[in-house]
Structure 1
């Protein structure tokens, strides 16, 4: 394999409803919060599910990151980013150390788990994929490296959009 995200090896993927997937791909959502923990650590693809969560979406954050027409413009049914899942902690353990954007983009109540994803890189030309529940294996058809943007720094991205 020529790159961490090379095309010959399966990597884990997770489907997120929109706008959550795009907030992750923009580097402002560093934690994915779930009601279940995972022991997995390593490369992970962020898949934008076909479902659009308008009721739960943080409108001001979504507009700051994706523009005023974000509900109609977000990609769905595609892989939008890759990163590295580096930690899975009880949500209350990380709740006091979050940026404003991360706090708005997750549910950090007691009993939940915060999956910290770092080294996020946007997929420049999103890749169609049928999502699944939970973590699932995905084998990219080609080497992803040439089609990835630069690694996004969470703090820089939050400041860029005014949500530090």
Structure 2
């Protein structure tokens, strides 16, 4: 599967459903699912520039977006997945996330994934086989997972367990197939 490296906190904004455009200086014909790779690097200035953009940028709804603390943004690996549905030239931009003079990769169906460490690359790149194997295991259904409900999980690769301890992510484990009302 292909991946695309994006610097934080832009990657977080995409995988959490806020940002629908990834800006690039180059066009692409690629369409389809792509893994979102969070680059390792992020400076304080870059983080603050994004905070300023949210406060004073494209539309009023941006002001309500609260970024995680800089130290809490995961970097250096796969953090989500989205679908590239189009590549929009600058002169046709409609989204407040689409920057002037840039091609906008229109992203849909974005979702966050637990961090899977992986080296990034320029452009669309193929993920290594070991990373693909981890992602396949994460996608496989568990018999029963309670990680997001009671801190117990019997699945060794549960994304809600890190270093043998439950993660308090505020999200239900994606492998928990039980209704919210249980």
TM-score > 0.5, shorter chain as reference: yes
CA RMSD of the aligned region, Å? 2.5
The corresponding residue for 1:3 is none
Q: Under a length normalisation based on structure 2, what TM-score does the superposition of the two structures give?
A: 0.62
- 1:53 & 1:43 partners in 2: Cα distance? 28
Give the secondary structure class of the aligned counterpart of 2:41. strand
CA contact (8 A) 2:7 2:40 kept: yes
Q: Under a length normalisation based on structure 1, what TM-score does the superposition of the two structures give?
A: 0.68
Q: Call closer, same or farther: CA 1:107–1:54 in 2, change over 3 Å.
A: farther
**Higher relative contact order, structure no. (Cα contacts within 8 Å, ≥ 6 residues apart):** 1
Q: What pairs up with 1:128-143 in 2 under 5 angstroms?
A: 128-138=117-127, 139=129, 140-142=132-134, 143=136
- 2:75 & 2:124 partners in 1: Cα distance? 18
The corresponding residue for 1:66 is 67
Query: Which blocks of at least 5 consecutive residues in structure 2 are unaligned?
Result: 56-63, 141-158, 160-172, 175-182
Corresponding residue pairs, total: 128
How far apart are residue 32 of structure 1 and its match?
Answer: 0.3
Q: What pairs up with 1:47-126 in 2 under 5 angstroms?
A: 47-56=37-46, 57-59=49-51, 61=54, 64-67=65-68, 70-94=69-93, 97-98=94-95, 103=96, 106=97, 108-110=99-101, 112-123=102-113, 125-126=114-115
Q: Call closer, same or farther: CA 1:89–1:120 in 2, change over 3 Å.
A: same
How far apart are residue 53 of structure 1 and its match?
Answer: 4.1
CA contact (8 A) 2:51 2:67 kept: no
Per-residue Cα deviation, 1:132-158 (whole angstroms, up to 9, x for no partner): 111101251142535685xxxxxxxxx
Query: Which blocks of at least 5 consecutive residues in structure 1 are unaligned?
Result: 1-10, 150-164
Q: Which has the higher strand share?
A: 1
Determine which structure has more spread, i.e. the larger CA radius of gyration: 2
Runs (4+) of structure 1 exceeding 6 A deviation are none
